[in-house]
Structure 1
Amino acid sequence: MRAFLVTLIIVLVALVVKIDLTEGTLPLAAFYPKETEELCEDLREPTYINIQVIQGDTIHSLFAMQPAKVPMTFPERLQLFYRLNPHLQLQELVAGENIKLPLAFELENTCK
């Protein structure tokens, strides 16, 4: 009888470990957004203009020269700027370089 109980406990522990390793202890639904808006947020494409940098331009001066069409905070606009110009991360603006300056988000109709 003792051997049977030990075998049963080992099988149950193995089953719990298998379920924990394959499905995880946290429900996967907690990692995914529930709202449709949150799912569609990554599908937004920014509206931008192409400009050529001149000597002395900074990101601040470019943002001031071309204000955003919709209210955006500076960090949001800076994030868009680096998304459009990934080559400029950790780089300074070089005179004569063409860059994309974000103005607003344009929503696509792919969300349902």
Structure 2
Amino acid sequence: MRIIGLAILILVCSYIIKMDLLDGTISLAAFSQTEQECIKENKYEIFPVQTIEDDTILSLFGVYPSEVWVSFPDRLEAFYQENPHLRNQQIQAGEFVNVPIYKDTQISCS
């Protein structure tokens, strides 16, 4: 009786494994199509500004806000990319700097 029970158990397990390999999750995972990802890029425009005395980067960001929310470190990095000379010095009065202003852009996915 044990041999018949063991044989039935082996047949049931092999049937389950066969069905899983042919029609189950493993075959679906191997041949599934990947979904196209839509990535919304943050694009900014440059606004040239002549600074006045006691201007800081934070005050320039406050006077010239972006249309969309962007974290301060991201906006600061864009500011330094446009004004690399200001990484190691302060803003001087009368100097022209480029302030990045992020715009709301729509990217369509097909």
How high is the TM-score relative to the length of structure 2? Answer: 0.55
CA RMSD of aligned residues (A): 2.7
> 2-side partners of 1:49 and 1:88: how far apart?
16
1:48 CA displacement: 1.6
Match of 1:84 in 2: 82
Aligned pair count reads 74
Tell me, which stretches of 5 or more residues in structure 2 are unaligned? 1-36
Alignment of 1:93 onto 2:91: yes
Matches within 5 A, 1:63-74: 63-74=61-72
After TM superposition, where is structure 1 displaced by more than 6 Å over at least 4 residues in a row? none
> 2-side partners of 1:82 and 1:106: how far apart?
21
User: Which secondary structure does the structure 1 equivalent of 2:100 belong to?
Assistant: strand
> 2-side partners of 1:55 and 1:81: how far apart?
19
Q: Give the AA of the match of 2:56.
A: T
Tell me, which stretches of 5 or more residues in structure 1 are unaligned? 1-34
C-alpha spacing 1:84/1:57, structure 2 compared with 1 (3 Å): same
* Percent identity of equivalent pairs: 39
C-alpha spacing 1:56/1:45, structure 2 compared with 1 (3 Å): same
Bigger radius of gyration among the two: 2
How high is the TM-score relative to the length of structure 1? Answer: 0.54
